[in-house]
Amino acid sequence: MQLKNLSKAGIFAVILVVAFIVGWEWHWRSKGFQITFNDDKQLWAVKRAEVYQTKRNATVFIGSSRIKFDLDIPTWEKLTGEKAIQLALVGTSPKLLLQDLAEDENFKGKLVVDVTEVLFFSQNPVFHKSANEAIAFYKKQTPSEKLGSTLNFALEQQLVFLEEKRFALNALLHDLEIPNRPGVFAVPPFPKGFEWTRFDRQTYMSDMFLADTSLLNRQTAIWEKLIMADKTPPVSGKALEKEFEEIRMAVSKIKTRGGQVIFVRTPSSGPMAKGEQKAYPRQRYWEAMLRYVQADGIHYSDDPGTANMICPEWSHLSPKDAITYTHHLVNTLREKGWFTSQKTTL
Amino acid sequence: MLFNSYSFVLFFAIMLALHHMPFSWKTKKINLLLASYLFYAAWNPPFILLLWLSTFVDFHVGRALYNENNRTRKKLLLVISLIGNLGMLCFFKYGTFLLENFTTLVTALGFEFHPASPSIILPAGISFYTFTTLCYTIDMYKKESQPVKSLLDFSLFVTFFPHLVAGPIVRPPQLVPQFQTPRMATRLQLMQGLFLLSLGLFMKVVMADTMLAGASDSVFNFPNPLMPLDAWMGVLAFSGQIFFDFAGYSTCAIGVAMTLGFTLPENFRYPYGAIGFSDFWKRWHITLSAWLRDYLYIPLGGNRKSEIRTYVNLMLTMLLGGLWHGASWTFVVWGALHGIYLCIERMLRSKKTPREDSELEIQPTIITSKRKPMQTVSASFAPSFLRGKKMHLFFAALFTFFLVNVTWVFFRANDFSTAWRLLRSMFGFVENGAVLLSTLDILRVSVITILLVLTHWFMRNTNVLALTQKTKWWATGLAWAIMLILLVVSQKSSDSFIYFQF
């Protein structure tokens, strides 16, 4: 009797679960959502393991979210014949990533460092957390975790709802947006269809997001809230010099081993760009850093082709503009002797 | 390998298939042993050497201990086994802690001493398998059970993957006989095992990681004083998190073993429904408290000596129990608080008249009863005005839960300053405490805590498999499906279990 009951219960449960999975997947697909990968430490670790390719074969990118949107990897690879290894982390300063590569004696390749000043020069531990976690995960990854990642990617490739940031229980609960007590800081959920991420860690804005003004406005309101929330003044004086020194040491280590490092400043626009220019004047931060570090840099405003690019939500380029930006970036890099191959561009 | 990982799902499916194939029993045992080594090596392959060393040494020392009649040589063998097992545990788990404390001490005495940081990696599950092998050699010394005849059976007893990394801590008589005769799960065992595995994963992934870990981490990592509401919510969140995390692991382990036809001892029995602390320790990490009782408290003299000595033994047992959990003084304070609670409870009980005792149906505590089966405790130190009525006992359970929560502050806090800051915040001894938690966090911690305490109260004399027998099949199926659906939707597939660090 007990066996019969439990067996019936088990079969009933399996039917309900399968029905739910089919229905849940259909529900999100019918709303226009598509396959996207979790842009997490597992995926980052896969890309981190690829940095040991020769200078002839690949360029590694580190930075924050902007380079993930603004560099179009297929365009880059088509133009250069080189692989683009995307290691930038969203909402994170790349300083720890730079230091991690500098400490890795086996890394002797080419490195592009994307600078978003508010994150890059920040000493707030919040902006270094993801980098810390990703590096630690990569270094301590167990055989079981590696196998788990492989299985995970295979499933994520098939099912839309397996994207934690958008469809996991926590994300769905946060979507309820229950009002908080005065004084509680909470980041409002990003619009659900903001962006997709591919296996190569290329991130791009979705058509549904770009077509919906209310979603664009919602996203800009989130940026405003986040900017307003950070009351710490921009780093300056001795503390800034210390930051410069740490960056200089890391860059120097890579160059000593025969590697190449260049800094890029990707576009921003609207109130975001104005705020950034006010808080982090180019001369005091970007130019001063390049001088101190003795490294080359590419600022979007120096190239007439990128100087006036518009970011739909002030901070990242649309997929179409990312292709244009990548063309310009490749051209500028080629002029600076970054590539050894002779592939032609525009 | 974690139970809540895709790697384990694959591993488990292969193991289950292999175990149900028509191989000889010896082949199946070899399969299980190799799979257990693979399960362990999937974390950090080199540490498997420690496991082999421990298994090999204890198998031979255990047999020699049993057969040795010369008392001096017998004691020498026991000392070798203790040094081997505890030495390994001390080096890996307490090496850094001991060095830090020694450095602090000599610096306080005015000596300059700056040792290099040893950066020792803790092998997964070392506290658990050390206790498993220790109890074997001690039992052999005392001739409390027969030595295991085959190295294969002994290796499997130590390494059997469901219990290897985080318990339940098994004793030789509980598991070794199960390896001696062919075993295959009945269909009922298979279904029950799968149900328990689903329940355990639900507890870990949905309840601990998805619903509670966020609030708990936010509060315990917050560097400033908090409003009492936030502080309490953080502590209650951890209280639920650690239960769901650890009991979830044990439930998975018992379920997995059951699908293969093996029975592991119960490790949790609705501890937040406990009335008093002796009752709590009969319900929380049962196999550890029983181990401490039999291999520490009783050898120290238990309650067979003077009253004062009994209290000293109780305190020592709980202090070492605290230290077992982690190499930090905060764990020692956690153990000390439990020891103090147990001593006060014992004092209160000894003052009661026999009539009061019979009214309260007091059962022997876990500390004083040697290897008795689990018994239900109706009450142990409920105040007189609460006695006799179930509602009053419920309030006594709530009071116990309240005190347990105070101890969790020391268990979870990384240091004493965090613990004090949080305690001051909880009891309103701070001004202008920060508001931290979102309404969503407060709602989920509150709802889950209320449901958790009520469930533990109403389930305190039964268990979940008994409940499935009484429930309609469709209701069980629906509950099972909801657990699995929430598991799928939670998507947290690889967060480690809290007890892995112990």
Q: DSSP for A182-229?
A: TT---PPPPPTTSEEE-TT--EEE-HHHHT-HHHHHHHHHHHHHHHHH
Neighbours of B178 (CB within 10 A): 19
The order of strands in the sheet holding A260-265 is A83-86, A58-62, A110-114, A260-265, A296-299
- pLDDT given for residue B493 in this prediction: 54
The span from the CA of B218 to the CA of B207, in Å, is 16
Give the burial class of A256: count Cβ atoms within 10 A of its Cβ; 0-12 exposed, 13-18 middle, 19 or more buried: exposed
Residues 203-222 of B with CB under 8 A from A: 206, 210, 214
SS3 string, A40-69, reads CHHHHHHHHCCCCCCCCCEEEEECCHHHHH
Task: Tell me the average pLDDT across A172-176.
Answer: 90
Helix axes B187-201, A2-30, angle to 10 degrees: 40
Q: pTM score, two decimals?
A: 0.86
Asked if the Cβ–Cβ distance from B188 to A6 is below 8 Å, we say yes
**Phi and psi at residue A59, in whole multiples of 5°?**
-125, 135
> Interior CA angle at B213 toward B211 and B216, to 5°?
115
Find how far residue B180's CA is from the centre of its chain: 27
Q: Which residue of A has its CA nearest to B209?
A: A170
Sequential pLDDT tens for chain B (502 residues): 888 888 899 999 999 999 988 899 999 999 999 999 999 888 878 888 888 988 998 999 898 988 888 888 888 888 888 888 888 888 777 777 777 777 888 887 777 777 766 666 667 778 888 888 888 999 998 888 889 989 999 999 999 999 988 879 999 888 999 998 898 889 999 999 999 999 999 999 999 999 999 999 999 999 999 999 999 999 999 999 999 999 999 999 999 999 999 999 999 999 999 999 999 999 999 999 999 999 999 988 888 888 889 999 999 999 999 988 888 899 999 999 999 999 999 888 877 655 444 333 333 333 333 344 444 344 444 545 445 557 888 899 999 999 999 999 999 999 999 999 999 999 989 888 999 999 999 999 999 999 999 999 999 888 888 888 888 999 999 999 999 999 999 986 555 555 555 5
- pLDDT given for residue A254 in this prediction: 94
What confidence category does residue A1 fall into, taking pLDDT thresholds of 50, 70 and 90?
low
Helix axes B25-41, B48-67, angle to 10 degrees: 130
The span from the CA of B77 to the CA of B142, in Å, is 12
Asked if the Cβ–Cβ distance from B488 to A147 is below 8 Å, we say no
Best to test chain A binding among B1, B4, B7, B233 (most A CBs inside 10 Å):
B7
Task: Tell me the average pLDDT across A47-67.
Answer: 90
**With contact defined as beta carbons under 8 Å apart, do A67 and A92 qualify?**
no
For chain A, say whether B147 makes contact (Cβ under 8 Å).
no
DSSP notation for A230-259? --SPPP-HHHHHHHHHHHHHHHHHHHHTT-
Gyration radius (Cα) of chain A, Å? 22
The span from the CA of A247 to the CA of A339, in Å, is 24
- pLDDT given for residue B239 in this prediction: 97
**With contact defined as beta carbons under 8 Å apart, do B94 and B101 qualify?**
no
Asked if the Cβ–Cβ distance from B6 to A3 is below 8 Å, we say no
Active site residue B325: yes
**Partners of residue B9 in chain A, C-beta under 8 Å:** 151
* Tens digit of each residue's pLDDT (9 = 90 or more) over A182-191: 888 888 888 8
Q: Which residue of A has its CA nearest to B494?
A: A145
Asked if the Cβ–Cβ distance from B486 to A151 is below 8 Å, we say no
- pLDDT given for residue B358 in this prediction: 38
Dihedral sign (CA B91, B94, B96, B99): negative
Of A2, A14, A161, the CB nearest to B188: A2
**Of the candidates A120, A289, A318, which has an alpha carbon nearest to the alpha carbon of residue A208?**
A318
Residues 101-130 of B with CB under 8 A from A: none
**A-to-B residue pairs, Cβ atoms closer than 8 angstroms:** 139
Across chain A, mean pLDDT equals 90
* Tens digit of each residue's pLDDT (9 = 90 or more) over A235-281: 888 899 999 999 999 999 999 999 999 999 999 999 989 988 988 99
**Partners of residue B202 in chain A, C-beta under 8 Å:** none
Task: Measure in Å the smallest separation between the Cα of A321 and chain B Cα atoms.
Answer: 34
Of B5, B10, B473, the CB nearest to A5: B473
Task: Measure in Å the smallest separation between the Cα of B163 and chain A Cα atoms.
Answer: 18
**Partners of residue B486 in chain A, C-beta under 8 Å:** 169
Task: Measure in Å the smallest separation between the Cα of B223 and chain A Cα atoms.
Answer: 13
* Amino acid at site B355: R
- pLDDT given for residue B161 in this prediction: 92
Helix axes B187-201, B473-490, angle to 10 degrees: 40
The span from the CA of B497 to the CA of B291, in Å, is 22
- The position carrying tokens 């480690």 is B496
Of B41, B440, B480, the CB nearest to A13: B480
The span from the CA of B157 to the CA of B140, in Å, is 15
- pLDDT given for residue A266 in this prediction: 96
Beta bridge partners, A262, equal A112, A296
* Tens digit of each residue's pLDDT (9 = 90 or more) over B224-278: 999 999 999 999 999 999 999 999 999 999 999 999 999 999 999 999 999 999 9
Has residue A43 got a pLDDT over 90?
A: yes
Asked if the Cβ–Cβ distance from A16 to B481 is below 8 Å, we say yes
* Amino acid at site B190: L
- Among candidate residues B19, B325, B338, B456, the one labeled active-site is B325
Q: How far apart are the first and last CA of chain B?
A: 16
**Partners of residue A147 in chain B, C-beta under 8 Å:** 6-7, 10, 42
Best to test chain B binding among A4, A40, A142 (most B CBs inside 10 Å):
A142
**With contact defined as beta carbons under 8 Å apart, do A87 and A49 qualify?**
no
The tokens of A80 are what? 């250069």
- pLDDT given for residue B315 in this prediction: 93
For residue A200, give every residue at least 6 positions away whose Cβ sits within 8 Å of its Cβ, in sequence order, or none.
A47, A73, A84, A86
Of A142, A178, A183, the CB nearest to B440: A178
Q: Report in angstroms the alpha-carbon separations of B493 from A150, B4, B445, B497, B502.
A: 13, 6, 22, 11, 21
**With contact defined as beta carbons under 8 Å apart, do B492 and B210 qualify?**
yes
The tokens of A310 are what? 């518009």
Exposure string for B92-110, b = 16+ CB within 10 A, e = fewer: bbbebbebeeeeeeeeeee
Does the interface ipTM go beyond 0.90? Answer: no
Residues 401-460 of B with CB under 8 A from A: 434-440, 443-444
Beta bridge partners, B388, equal none
> Interior CA angle at B250 toward B245 and B256, to 5°?
125
The span from the CA of A232 to the CA of A212, in Å, is 33
Asked if the Cβ–Cβ distance from A167 to B210 is below 8 Å, we say no
The span from the CA of A158 to the CA of A199, in Å, is 12
**Partners of residue A37 in chain B, C-beta under 8 Å:** none
Residues 74-103 of B with CB under 8 A from A: none
- pLDDT given for residue A196 in this prediction: 93
- pLDDT given for residue B93 in this prediction: 76
**With contact defined as beta carbons under 8 Å apart, do B361 and B379 qualify?**
yes
For chain A, say whether B468 makes contact (Cβ under 8 Å).
yes
Of B436, B480, B493, the CB nearest to A148: B493
The span from the CA of B447 to the CA of B237, in Å, is 11
**Of the candidates A44, A56, A114, which has an alpha carbon nearest to the alpha carbon of residue A259?**
A56
For chain A, say whether B489 makes contact (Cβ under 8 Å).
yes
**Of the candidates A330, A341, A314, which has an alpha carbon nearest to the alpha carbon of residue A65?**
A314
Q: Report in angstroms the alpha-carbon separations of A166 from A170, B421, B495.
A: 9, 35, 19
Q: Which residue of A has its CA nearest to B121?
A: A140
> Interior CA angle at B205 toward A191 and B219, to 5°?
70
Q: Which residue of B has its CA nearest to A175?
A: B440
* Tens digit of each residue's pLDDT (9 = 90 or more) over A7-39: 999 999 999 999 999 999 999 999 999 999 999
